[in-house]
Amino acid sequence: MSGLEDDVRWLKLKISLLLAPTALGLRLLGLQRMLLLLSFLPSWHRPVITSERVDLVQEYGQQMRWAKRHALYRGNCLSQSVLLWWLLHRRGISTDLFIGTRRNQGLFQAHAWVEFHEIPLNAGTRVRQNYTMFEYAFSSQIISNLFKPYFYGGKP
Angle CA 24–120–132, to nearest 5: 80
**What is the pTM for the complete model shown?**
0.82
| Helix ranges, the chain (H) | 3-29, 31-39, 50-70, 77-90, 127-130, 143-146, 148-151
Give bridge partners of residue 48 from the DSSP assignment: none
Give the contacts of 115 (CB within 8 A, at least 6 positions apart): 95, 96, 98, 121, 137
Q: d(Cα 112, Cα 98) in Å, to the nearest integer?
A: 6
Q: At what angle do helices 3-29 and 77-90 cross, to 10 degrees?
A: 120
Q: d(Cα 3, Cα 61) in Å, to the nearest integer?
A: 19
What pLDDT was estimated at residue 74?
A: 87
What pLDDT was estimated at residue 89?
A: 85
Residue 111, Ramachandran bin (φ over 0: left; ψ between -120 and 50: alpha; else beta): beta
Q: Which amino acid is at 71?
A: A
For the chain, how many residues are written? 156
48 DSSP assignment: P
Q: d(Cα 40, Cα 143) in Å, to the nearest integer?
A: 10
* Per-residue pLDDT tens digits of the chain, which is 156 residues long: 455 566 888 889 999 999 999 999 999 999 988 988 887 777 766 666 666 678 888 899 999 998 989 888 889 999 999 999 999 888 888 888 999 999 989 999 999 999 998 899 999 999 999 999 887 677 765 554 554 444 444 444
Give bridge partners of residue 102 from the DSSP assignment: 109
Residue 110, Ramachandran bin (φ over 0: left; ψ between -120 and 50: alpha; else beta): beta
